[in-house]
Amino acid sequence: MADVIGVNRARLERELVEVRGIDAEEQQEMWAEHRRACPFEAVTGEEVPGLLGPQRGAYGGAAGDMYIAWGHDEVAQVMRDAAHFMKPGPGGPFANTILSMNGEEHRKYREMVKDAFAPAAVDRWETTLIRPLMHRLVDAIAPKGRADLVRDYTSHFPFHVIRVLLGIPEEQHDEFVGLAFPGSATLGSGFDDEWERRVQRFLDPHLAAARSRPQGEDLLSVLVHADLDGRKLTDDELYKFLVLLTPAGADTTFAGASTMFLGVLTNPDQLELVRHNRKLLSRAADEALRWHNSAASSFLRVATDDTEVGGCPVPRGTVVAAHVSAHNRDEKRYPEPEQYDITRPVLPRGIFGYGPHACLGMHIARCEMKVSLDVALDRLTNLRLDPEAPPPYVRSGVGFPSPPYIHVLFDI
């Protein structure tokens, strides 16, 4: 198996080790103060442009004030109600991608690839790709008796999985990993322009090869042969679709799996519950995503008509930020929300979003997380934190919230 090596591996390690970020619990407490004060908070004046950040160019026609939904019910309402709260559309960030589309256009694009991410397809990938991959990665660390689970395990498999799903050959793995780092976004766009051009140059020969052969199961092949209202996708449409997959399909799963291992290892009683009852693997994965959501912390919507949220009037054209990470910690729904607890009587909801824009890759992400823990528990006997190593923590402010390291010991 190809390793994540060379300059791209070095970059990943710098992000993991050198850039600390802030402790995510500090950030969560700040969000909790807002949520307790007002679960649907009005923001006015000079604060608005700063909150919109690089996306503010997409909302130039929106009303001057905005709201932030901090509470569970308020976030769920905004995310589910596509009739009253829509994405910014073609002029917004990630223009002409599935992330900016609404209504029928969004449905058509999603329909083209839904089968590749459906549970039946994920079951096949688990058998043929995901579980064998986890065993090959563990083969490399099992004889050593110690490891950094982030550096040696969770930072590898998501990149391999998405590369195989796209049909990219293994010898290009290191170059492919480099595409997972979009850089800084420019005003009104989703990603760094030069990074997008690098993605396009990388994809060009693969798209040409996919067009020259009959349709296969890989996503490149599915997309180049897809029919959209009687026509094929243009190169620009293909680029815009594919440019999302590496960061969305790899970075978020890498972060989520790392947080899941941190959750069970810092709660040994729950680790033992999972070890002896593998039906709890799904709960372990979902609780990690509730505890520290590994995707974007909030999602922006625009009110399409006068409406209300939690009894608060929202005029047409108002921007609303649905803060998913904060809503996952709402005390009204999750008692002691700061605790990682797979035995919660209320199962996490909304960790992959709500409504028509719920995460397309939720099934494969959950599968990767579950299988990574399942294989580790089978193969790494007496898996435990290294008491002499720096205590792991979830950092935020740098990429997706996740632990930069998890040093462990296990019996040989």
Q: Which range is most confident: 6-10, 62-66, 337-341?
A: 337-341
User: Cα–Cα–Cα angle for 75, 78, 80, nearest 5°?
Assistant: 100
CB burial of 186-222 (b: ≥16 within 10 Å; e: otherwise) equals eebbbbeeebbebbbebbeebbeebeeeeeeebbbbb
Quote the pLDDT of residue 342. Answer: 96
The residue among 22, 39, 1, 87 whose CA lies nearest residue 303 is: 87
| Domains of the chain (ranges, CATH numbers) | 6-181+189-409 (1.10.630.10)
The 3-state DSSP class for residue 234 equals: coil
**Cα distance between residue 75 and residue 39, in whole Å:** 9
Average pLDDT over residues 8-26: 62
Q: Identify the CA nearest to 386 among candidates 411, 410, 363.
A: 410
pLDDT of residue 108 exceeding 50: yes
Which has the higher per-residue pLDDT, 377 or 215?
A: 377
User: What's the CA gap between 285 and 263, in Å, rounded?
Assistant: 9
The DSSP secondary structure of 169-224, one letter per residue, reads -GGGHHHHHGGG---PPPTT-SS-HHHHHHHHHHHHHHHHHHHTS---SSHHHHHH
| Residue 22 confidence (pLDDT) above 50 | yes
- Mean residue pLDDT of the chain comes to 84
**pLDDT digits over 206-254, tens only?**
999 999 999 888 888 888 888 888 888 888 888 877 877 766 778 889 9
Instruction: Name the residue among 133, 159, 373 with its Cα closest to residue 251.
Output: 159
Q: Is the dihedral of CA 70, 76, 79, 82 positive or negative?
A: negative
For residue 380, what pLDDT band results from cuts at 50, 70 and 90? very high
List of residues 6+ apart from 262 with CB closer than 8 A: 288, 340, 392, 393, 394, 403, 406
**CA pseudo-torsion sign 223, 228, 234, 238:** negative
What are residue 34's phi and psi, to 5 degrees? -65, -45
Q: Identify the H or E element spanning 298.
A: strand 298-303
Which H or E element spans position 303? strand 298-303
Phi, psi values for residue 390, rounded to 5°: -60, 135
CB 94 within 8 A of CB 244: yes
Q: 64 to each of 42, 59, 311, how far by Cα in Å?
A: 11, 10, 21
Assign 185 a pLDDT band (cuts: 50, 70, 90): very low
pTM of the prediction? 0.88
Per-residue pLDDT at 16 exceeds 60: no
What's the sign of the alpha-carbon dihedral 152, 158, 161, 164? Answer: negative
Tokens of 80: 């589910």
